[in-house]
Amino acid sequence: MRELFLKGMSQLASPVSVVTTDGPAGRAGVTVSAVCSVSADPPSLLVCIHHQSPACAAIERNRRFCVNALRDDQAHLSEVFAGRVEAPGGDKFGCAKWQSTSGGVPVLTDSLVAFECRLSATLLEGTHRIFVAEVLGVGPTDGRPLVHANRCYAAPAPLAIRVN
């Protein structure tokens, strides 16, 4: 069942984001593909991160984080923060330009959209920690989203829809 589940999930297109945090537990970041809205009232979202990721413990302790949705020309950032490509100088954050929010959270300066968040709740389910967070700020820019589907990166393209 596990292999069938993994193959089935690989068929779903997911946005690619880098989740970052900084604070008493230090600075950390990780690539994720499990992000979704929870509610617009109040604005909140859900993020899933493998429980063994150093970012997981840092987010729990810092209580603030940023979901930096990547543009279609930023796949290299996903690879670095996923640990599949060596970070320049050993520092993941050295591969891009960052600014800090008033709460000290690192925000990618040219992400597709950035959601500054305050942790509301956590739940451990299987191998992943589920974070639910209140969105404190949103910083959109222009571009096309980076998605992951069929075990590769892609960018969405508009479809012509015909009604018969």
pTM value?
Answer: 0.93
Q: What pLDDT, on the 0 to 100 scale, is given for residue 48?
A: 97
Hey, where are the domains in the chain? Answer: 2-154
Report domain 2-154's class: mainly beta
- Which among 114, 31, 35 is positioned nearest to 80, based on CA atoms? 31
Total H helices, total E strands in the chain: 3, 12
Q: What pLDDT, on the 0 to 100 scale, is given for residue 136?
A: 96
Tokens of 120: 């509301």
Instruction: Identify the segments of the chain with pLDDT beneath 50.
Output: none
Query: What distances in angstroms separate CA 120 from CA 10, 64, 97, 130, 133, one per listed residue?
Result: 29, 10, 28, 11, 5
Q: What pLDDT, on the 0 to 100 scale, is given for residue 28?
A: 97
Quick: pLDDT tens for 19-43: 999 999 999 999 999 999 999 999 9
Q: What pLDDT, on the 0 to 100 scale, is given for residue 13?
A: 87
Tokens 């593909």 belong to 33
Q: What pLDDT, on the 0 to 100 scale, is given for residue 103?
A: 86
